[in-house]
Amino acid sequence: MARYYDVHPVNPQRRSIEQVVALLRSDGLIAYPTDSCYALGCALDNKAGLNRIKEIRRLDDRHHYTLMCRDFSQLGQFAEVDTAVFRAIKAVTPGGYTFILPATREVPRRMMHPKKKTVGARIPHNTVALALLEELGEPMLSSTLLLPEVEEPLTQGWEIKEELDNAVDAVLDSGECGTVPTTVIDFSQGAPEIVRRGAGDPTRFE
């Protein structure tokens, strides 16, 4: 049975954040709010957690997982970002964008696209997500909480608790956070390519 945390969206309770991060460090899998949908998250070295995400979402090996990063120092450790790409990303982050970038050697191979050796990365604009990342001290492996054969993500923490009570270890509820997933921009070939139009305005990348 998943633990349920009702956290304040602006001032998340420190004790709750610490308890959830302790779960992450103990190979736990959580459902948590971002600035564009709820997401599933686990620690980078949690191979079992990645497999649980695959099972919940029925994903294949070609799926791009996301490194949820606190800031650019974390992002730069796990993704190759030249000056031009850095400026383009910095202009729209934090926010509702995910960027596909060449992965560095710090990224676990199971997270990379098997052929392209790329990884998704983003910096969220959500206080609860950032509090988790600050306490964890490293990026979190994440994937949008979109269940198979469902058109829109779940938006209420209590709904997620009911639906995934035996599939995740904790649910953080800070109220609704929207149903639109991130806009995905692929920088792996240098020039930006819009892969998915979502929460972030894609105009500057067209």
CATH number of the domain to which 165 belongs: 3.90.870.10
The pLDDT of residue 154: 80
The pLDDT of residue 113: 65
Lowest mean pLDDT among 9-13, 37-41, 43-47, 153-157: 153-157
Q: Residue 18 above 80 pLDDT?
A: yes
The pLDDT of residue 107: 82
Domain membership of residue 165 (yes or no) is: yes
Domain membership of residue 205 (yes or no) is: no
Across the chain, mean pLDDT equals 91
Q: Which range of residues forms the domain containing residue 167?
A: 3-200
Domain membership of residue 23 (yes or no) is: yes
Residue with tokens 């209420």: 156
The pLDDT of residue 37: 87
Task: Write a three-state SS string for 131-184.
Answer: HHHHHHCCCEEEEECCCCCCCCCCCCHHHHHHHCCCCCCEEEECCCCCCCCCEE
Q: What's the whole-model pTM score? A: 0.92
Domain membership of residue 206 (yes or no) is: no
pLDDT tens digits for range 37-46: 899 999 999 9
Query: Could you tell me the CA-to-CA distances from 88 to 147, 171, 202 in Å, in that order?
Result: 32, 33, 12
Q: What is the mean pLDDT of the segment spanning 159-183?
A: 92
Share of the chain above pLDDT 70, in %: 99
124-152 burial, b at 16+ Cβ within 10 Å, e below that, comes to: bbbbbbbbbbebbebbbbbbbbbeeeeee
Q: Residue 108 above 80 pLDDT?
A: no
Query: Structural domain tally of the chain?
Result: 1
The pLDDT of residue 112: 67
Residue 87, token pair as written in the block:
């400026």
Q: What is the mean pLDDT of the segment spanning 60-70?
A: 87
Q: What is the mean pLDDT of the segment spanning 13-27?
A: 98
